[in-house]
Structure 1
Amino acid sequence: MRKINAGRNWLIHRVPAGHFGQAARLARPVQYLLLALLAGAAAVLELL
C-alpha cells in the first residue's frame, strides 16, 4: 500500500497543478470508489 501511495504522490507532484487540478478533484472520489469495490470484492471472496 505504501508503494502505491508513494507512486501516486510522485505522479501528483510531477504534473503541473494548474491544468491537473480538475482531474485530481474528479479522480479522488473515483479512487475511493475503486477502493471500496476492491474491499467489497475481498470480503465476498472471503465469504465464499
Structure 2
Amino acid sequence: MPATAFNVDDINMEYERLSSLGVAFSMEPTQMEPVTLAVFDDTCGNNLQIYQL
C-alpha cells in the first residue's frame, strides 16, 4: 500500500488552511513522537498525511 506524506513547517496553520478550503480530515494534528501528523482524504479514497518534525 503506497503512502504519501507531506512535510510542513507549521502543521496547525496548514491544517486550518486546508480545512477552510474544504479538505476533510479523518485525524486532526496529533503528536506521535517525534512527529505531529494529520490525515486527510484526497477525494479518491486515498489517505494522505501532513506532518511536522
Q: Classify the TM-score, shorter chain.
A: 0.3 to 0.5
Report which of the two structures shows the higher radius of gyration computed on alpha carbons. 1
Task: Choose between structure 1 and 2: higher helix proportion.
Answer: 1
TM-score, reference length from structure 1: 0.33
Task: Choose between structure 1 and 2: higher strand proportion.
Answer: 2
TM-score, reference length from structure 2: 0.31
